[in-house]
Amino acid sequence: MADVRPFRAVRYASPNTNLIAPPYDVLDETQRAELRARDPHNVVHLTCDPDEEAGGRRFREWLADGVLVRDETPAVWVLEQDVPESAGGVATRTGIVASLRAEPYAARTVLPHEQTHAGTRRGRLRLLRAARAQLEPLLFLYDGGAPLAAPERAADIDVGDSRLWRIEGDEGVREAFADLQLLIADGHHRYETAVAHAEEGGGDRLLAVLVSTGDPGLTILPTHRVFSGRPEIALDGEAFDSPEAALEALAAESFDHSAAVLVRPDATQLVRGGAGELDPELVERVGREGIAYTADADAAIARVRVGEADCAFLLRATRIEDVFDHSRRGLTMPPKSTYFFPKLVSGLLFHPLEP
pLDDT in tens, 68-96: 999 999 999 999 999 877 655 568 999 99
Question: Do residue 285 and residue 238 come from a single domain?
Answer: yes
Q: What is the mean pLDDT of residues 318-334?
A: 88
Range of weakest confidence among 46-55, 166-175, 182-191, 193-202: 166-175
Q: What is the mean pLDDT of residues 222-250?
A: 96
Question: Do residue 208 and residue 229 come from a single domain?
Answer: no
Question: Do residue 102 and residue 123 come from a single domain?
Answer: yes
- Answer yes or no: is pLDDT of 110 > 70: yes
**110 located within any domain:** yes
User: 352: cis peptide before it, omega within 30°?
Assistant: no
CA nearest to 42, candidates 351, 355, 350, 346: 346
Question: Do residue 240 and residue 178 come from a single domain?
Answer: no
- Between CA 20 and CA 38 the distance in angstroms is 10
Share of the chain above pLDDT 70, in %: 99
The pLDDT assigned to 55 comes to 98
Dihedral class, residue 86 (left if φ above 0, else alpha if ψ from -120 to 50, else beta): alpha
The pLDDT assigned to 86 comes to 62
| pLDDT tens digits along 296-307 | 999 999 999 999
| pLDDT tens digits along 268-323 | 999 999 998 999 999 999 999 999 999 899 999 999 999 999 999 999 999 989 98
**332 located within any domain:** no
Question: How far are the Cα atoms of 46, 266, 279, 295, 301 from residue 307, in angstroms, in the given order?
Answer: 38, 11, 25, 19, 10
**Mean pLDDT for the chain?**
94
Q: What is the mean pLDDT of residues 149-161?
A: 95
CA nearest to 208, candidates 354, 341, 71, 100: 100
Burial string for 295-304 (b: 16+ CB within 10 Å, else e) reads bebeebbebb
Contact 55, 47 (CB under 8 A): yes
Structural domain including 308 reads: 223-316
Based on the structure, what is the number of domains in the chain?
2
- Between CA 13 and CA 62 the distance in angstroms is 10
Q: What is the mean pLDDT of residues 11-34?
A: 96
**131 located within any domain:** yes
Question: Do residue 208 and residue 114 come from a single domain?
Answer: yes
**321 located within any domain:** no
- Between CA 293 and CA 289 the distance in angstroms is 12
The pLDDT assigned to 335 comes to 86
Question: Do residue 256 and residue 146 come from a single domain?
Answer: no
Task: Report the interhelical angle of 118-131 vs 188-199 (nearest 10°).
Answer: 60
The pLDDT assigned to 219 comes to 87
Question: Do residue 248 and residue 179 come from a single domain?
Answer: no
